[in-house]
Amino acid sequence: MIFSHRKNLLTFCLGFLASGPGLSAAPEFSLTPRTTDLIENYCIDCHEDGSSKGGIRLDNLPGLSLDARLDLLNKMQEQLHFEEMPPRKKDQPAEEERAELISWISRELGKHNASKLEDKLRMPDYGNYVNHDKLFSGEYAHLKPFTPDRRWLISEFIFDAKFNKLLNHKPFQTIDGKREFVIGENNRRVNLTNPFLLPTNTGVRYYDTATLNGGHLLTMLTNAKNAAAYMTGHLAARDRNYLPSFNAIMAEEDRHNSILESRKRFLDNFIEPVLLELYGKKHQSLLPEFKQLSVTEAAETETKKAPFHAANPGKEELVIIFRSMRRLEKEGDTDAQLITRCEREWFYFGHNERKIQARVTFLRNYMEEWRQQIEQHKYDERNRRFDYKPLPESEMHIVGTTIRKHRKKGDRYQTIIEKCMTDWRQGFKQERKEAGPPAPELVAKLIEELFAKIYERKPTAKEIAKYQALTGNYLTSLGNLKGVQKLIQTLILQSEFVYRNEFGSGEPDEHGRRMLTPRDASYAISYALTDSSPDEELAKAAAEGRLNSREDYARQVIRLLKKRDQFYVIDEAVQRLNETASITDLPIRNLRFFREFFGYQKMLPIFKDRKRFGGDYDGSKGRLVGEADRLVEHFLKKDRNVFEELLTTEKFYVYHSGDNGHMTAASDRIRRIHEYFKDKDWQNFEKEDLLEHKEFLAEVKMRGVNVDELEKKGRRNPIREFKRALTSFAIRLDEGETGAAPYVSFPAHGKYNADTRTGRRLQSPEVAKFYNIQLDKWNYPGVQPAKVEHRKGMLTHPAWLIAHAQNTETDPVKRGKWIREKLLAGTIPDIPITVEAQIPEDHTRTLRHRLAGVTEEKYCWRCHQRMNPLGYAFEMFDDFGRFRTEEALEHPDNLIKKGPDKAEPHVDLRDTYKTLPVNSKGSLEGTGDDKLDGEVANALELADRLARSTRVRQSIIRHAFRFYMGRNERLTDSKTLIDADNAYVQSGGSFNAVVLSLLTSDSFLYRKAKPTS
């Protein structure tokens, strides 16, 4: 058999070569005897006619159609490259043999430009396919690292920061009592849609591989229109320095508009006296005949009447009504007379009939309430009477002439005004037309200003010329305003706006690498650490030639890493959930690296059952994620042994703002109140008893207990509030607890709760339930992070556990996969298409048991052995991240007791089910360290061992590389990775040292024009 293949393959090959001489092009397919040997030795046994494993045959390779052959060669290339083939139990080719075979395939695919591997290796999923040991062995450290020249599509975060800056959107928050400008709050006045959303996977999400597509552009088209309208409308009008040349172009039109406005304002207020002056007695006869509207009388019924706020015609209308009433009211008038007089005025003004009808209906039905409102809201002070003041003489002359020209008998005032306005508007338009288009120098200045705003650079002379021509066309065909808007749109839609440029310049070094241009470098550094373009100092350094060496980069990076004068919103979604503070003053991207690496925020969109949680899940989830962020920030600020701390910390934030002083005081306050009253008979207190403690109460302030108003009134019941609060405090402190969680009896009642750092109510104490902490038995620590039982590191943080679980069950596979890929630099192939990834339902067995049944079969276990044993260790936690020793078999058949549906926060609302003991034994394999590999009793032991592993440390470094470079590492980056790893070790575990090392590495500094594979 072998011979026959050999013969087939060789014959084909020789035959082809024989026809070769005389042809200048490379032969379409060529097999050398050496490649034939290699295929014979390592592949053909399994992949030939009759034994074609996995449906792959190689014996007929030469005879295949071109497409089929390229397809097969691509598969072979991938399998060989990733060392998936030959299978591990078979004879393995030597490294050179493998390289030889791969290079032959590359040559063959190269002929048709058909290699898919190169593209694939760029993708985030393939990051770990570069051999870990090779990367860190030092064997490749002599290679010269570089990044290819590239355009990198902006991220969702950069999109927001860019537009916020362009559109002067400057949101402020009160943080630690001070008003601070924050980046990352995107509630703009302009309606923009962010098309550059990053994928939602955990790990590194922002890669340079994304490209703009039709959907992006279509969205950007609308964004550009909205932004342009806002820039030329709201912004340019408010700030004359925003786009001075635009204002200059619009100067004449603006002047005309302000004249028009002043005439209109004047006429709207004083047309009646003006007409009386112009027409004297004749005026009355020119007015139309007043016809009163018929307005339906309100029926007399028992019906509940809608209150004033739900029935008035709106603020602006109320002011109009008020002014008419004040102008026309006379002593002794009845309401009906006044209403008719108003109606007559509105009729002569020519207000819309329906509006008049609505006003009259409103006045008839709500006059009493309306008069109260006028008083209460000080309408008289706020809407003072207009005193008649004529316009300058020349203007009065124009006004008078135009009115005389247009007024006809029967015209209402608004008709007269509109006719005059149209006349003037047309005249002005004609004037502007005669004045001609704006001067070319002015247009050139506008282009410069727009380049500065949109691209943050000066245009070249060539660009100015080109855009002058384009703008000229726009202005002619669309007019000044729309023309300039179109120009803005054109600039926003260019690739320069939506991509960040990173190109090298200058003379290439001996390896063909060039350093980033200083400008591109300034953006690269700034975008590495933040979402914003370079700050003033960095931009200045780039412009003044101080961004040309590694030392220059280092100086800037160190400065930015230390910078603490800018606050960022970490996650707007978290901020929105129960007013959780989600802010940091760290360079946002450093925190975001760990956030996305761990992926704990991915718990937010998971829809979970509050009953199964046993409390207010939706209220608590924002707090849980916010506190995970706070923990990461805590260790990043300490910047010592960052990875180890994050993987093994036993201290967590639980219902804590991050401000130890404030939280301690808030907790102490409750204890103080409790101490003060605990031995008194407060359960039976009456008003008089409370008054005896007036001074104390005035000092400590309790919600709903105002010592000056202790009597019951309406919904106010101070005695009840007092007792409710004390009962709740007693529950938390009566067993000798050392501290109480600082919330009032109901967490939503925030006034005297602790505050968040942004000055909002600190809500959701039920976050403690994730940690098995009972609110009524908690020695609340005011100083946090503080030790929590049964926890070790971020992988035991409930947010991480929920993010890596199913809606109603844990997910050892997902958890194991995360560890394998993120911490052990391992790979797991995609689920084969033939596999139905489902765990059978069976309410008599634990999840682990059921999962093992379907994944531990031979075929599945090949891959699952890389995940399950790691994930099993986390079975000590349930799908809410709560520690457990027993697994509840949640099924109606197993129900033992129903929990309450509603209760105070300390009560557990869960139903009780039958249980089975949990088995959280697992095993660790793949650290490359015999002392660490092996069985583990549970997740805590696993976390300990992971934290001690060199491989884990290096795996995090690899992910950091991807995060800061926006691409996968290659063997040529070996030196960069080793340096970053050394920087971490030598600095005692400083993550800043890692970032500094990466951002001053050759991989970051150097670019090559043409990517090499």
- Residues 814 to 853 in contact with other proteins, rule: CB under 8 A: 831, 833, 835-838, 841, 843
**Core vs surface per residue 656-671: b (16+ CB within 10 A) or e:** bbbbeebbbebbebbb
Phi-psi domain of 694 (left: phi exceeds 0; alpha: psi -120 through 50; beta: other): alpha
- Is residue 212 near other proteins by the rule CB under 8 A? yes
Using an 8 Å Cβ cutoff, are 136 and 928 in contact?
Answer: no
- Binders of other proteins among residues 74 to 113 (CB under 8 A) are none
Among 105, 325, 360, 529, binds other proteins (CB under 8 A): 360
156 DSSP assignment: H
Closer to other proteins at the Cβ: 508 or 928? 508
722 DSSP assignment: H
The rounded distance, in Å, linking the Cα atoms of 420 and 399 is: 8
Closer to other proteins at the Cβ: 197 or 276? 197
- The helix or strand, by DSSP H or E, that contains position 515, with its residue range, turns out to be strand 514-516
CB of 297 to other proteins, least distance (A): 8
Of the listed pieces 331-339, 469-477, 786-794, 869-877, which binds other proteins according to CB under 8 A? 469-477
Using an 8 Å Cβ cutoff, are 667 and 723 in contact?
Answer: no
Of the listed pieces 101-109, 426-434, 890-898, 923-931, which binds other proteins according to CB under 8 A? 890-898
- Is residue 898 near other proteins by the rule CB under 8 A? no
The rounded distance, in Å, linking the Cα atoms of 899 and 887 is: 17
Closer to other proteins at the Cβ: 609 or 650? 609
Of the listed pieces 195-203, 245-253, 451-459, 981-989, which binds other proteins according to CB under 8 A? 195-203
Closer to other proteins at the Cβ: 478 or 730? 478
- Is residue 123 near other proteins by the rule CB under 8 A? no
Closer to other proteins at the Cβ: 285 or 303? 303
C-alpha 181: how far from its chain's center? 18
CB of 868 to other proteins, least distance (A): 17
- Binders of other proteins among residues 145 to 174 (CB under 8 A) are 148-151, 153
Closer to other proteins at the Cβ: 66 or 835? 835
- Is residue 901 near other proteins by the rule CB under 8 A? no
Count of chain residues binding other proteins (CB under 8 A): 95
| Dihedrals phi, psi of 147, to nearest 5 degrees | -120, 140
- Is residue 312 near other proteins by the rule CB under 8 A? yes
- Is residue 301 near other proteins by the rule CB under 8 A? yes
- Is residue 337 near other proteins by the rule CB under 8 A? no
Closer to other proteins at the Cβ: 561 or 570? 570
CB of 157 to other proteins, least distance (A): 12
- Is residue 306 near other proteins by the rule CB under 8 A? yes
- Binders of other proteins among residues 280 to 299 (CB under 8 A) are 295-299
- Is residue 201 near other proteins by the rule CB under 8 A? no
The rounded distance, in Å, linking the Cα atoms of 931 and 681 is: 63
- Binders of other proteins among residues 585 to 644 (CB under 8 A) are 604-605, 607-612, 618
Using an 8 Å Cβ cutoff, are 16 and 30 in contact?
Answer: yes
Among 577, 823, 825, 996, binds other proteins (CB under 8 A): 577
Among 28, 49, 119, 368, binds other proteins (CB under 8 A): 119
**Core vs surface per residue 462-489: b (16+ CB within 10 A) or e:** eebeebeebbeebbeeeebbebbbbbbb
Task: Specify burial of residue 240 (Cβ count, 10 A radius: 0-12, 13-18, 19+).
Answer: exposed
Task: Specify burial of residue 577 (Cβ count, 10 A radius: 0-12, 13-18, 19+).
Answer: buried
- Is residue 328 near other proteins by the rule CB under 8 A? no
- Is residue 897 near other proteins by the rule CB under 8 A? no
- Is residue 465 near other proteins by the rule CB under 8 A? no
- Binders of other proteins among residues 27 to 66 (CB under 8 A) are none
CB of 936 to other proteins, least distance (A): 29
Residue of 701, 562, 733 whose CA lies nearest to 639: 562
CB of 803 to other proteins, least distance (A): 14
Among 572, 857, 886, 935, binds other proteins (CB under 8 A): 572
- Is residue 357 near other proteins by the rule CB under 8 A? yes
Q: What is the DSSP string of 6-70?
A: HHHHHHHHHHHHHT-TT--SPPS----HHHHHHHHHHTTTTSSTTT-GGG---TTGGGS-HHHHH
Among 106, 340, 490, 923, binds other proteins (CB under 8 A): 490
- Is residue 460 near other proteins by the rule CB under 8 A? no
CB of 363 to other proteins, least distance (A): 10
Length of the chain counted residue by residue? 1013
Question: Helix, strand or coil for residue 783?
Answer: coil
The rounded distance, in Å, linking the Cα atoms of 518 and 541 is: 8
- Is residue 355 near other proteins by the rule CB under 8 A? yes
Question: Helix, strand or coil for residue 889?
Answer: coil
Question: Helix, strand or coil for residue 289?
Answer: coil
Closer to other proteins at the Cβ: 187 or 285? 187
Closer to other proteins at the Cβ: 209 or 919? 209
CB of 216 to other proteins, least distance (A): 7
Among 90, 112, 170, 305, binds other proteins (CB under 8 A): 305
Closer to other proteins at the Cβ: 4 or 211? 211
Tokens encoding 904: 């105070």
- Is residue 352 near other proteins by the rule CB under 8 A? yes
Amino acid at position 720, single letter: R
Closer to other proteins at the Cβ: 359 or 662? 359
- Is residue 519 near other proteins by the rule CB under 8 A? no
Task: Specify burial of residue 928 (Cβ count, 10 A radius: 0-12, 13-18, 19+).
Answer: middle
Block residue for tokens 């505050």:
755
The rounded distance, in Å, linking the Cα atoms of 226 and 901 is: 48
- Is residue 300 near other proteins by the rule CB under 8 A? yes
Closer to other proteins at the Cβ: 567 or 613? 613
- Is residue 808 near other proteins by the rule CB under 8 A? yes
Closer to other proteins at the Cβ: 436 or 892? 892
C-alpha 56: how far from its chain's center? 45
CA angle 143, 950, 818 (to 5 degrees): 100
CB of 479 to other proteins, least distance (A): 10
CA dihedral 996, 997, 999, 1002 (to 10 degrees): 160
CB of 245 to other proteins, least distance (A): 20
Among 358, 367, 421, 854, binds other proteins (CB under 8 A): 358
CB of 153 to other proteins, least distance (A): 8
Which neighbouring-strand residues pair with 179? 174
- Binders of other proteins among residues 734 to 773 (CB under 8 A) are none
- Is residue 690 near other proteins by the rule CB under 8 A? no
Tokens encoding 56: 């792959």
Amino acid at position 843, single letter: H
204 DSSP assignment: -
Closer to other proteins at the Cβ: 185 or 981? 185
128 contacts: CB under 8 Å, gap ≥ 6: 821, 825, 826, 827, 958
Question: Helix, strand or coil for residue 195?
Answer: coil
- Is residue 213 near other proteins by the rule CB under 8 A? yes
Tokens encoding 88: 């591990």
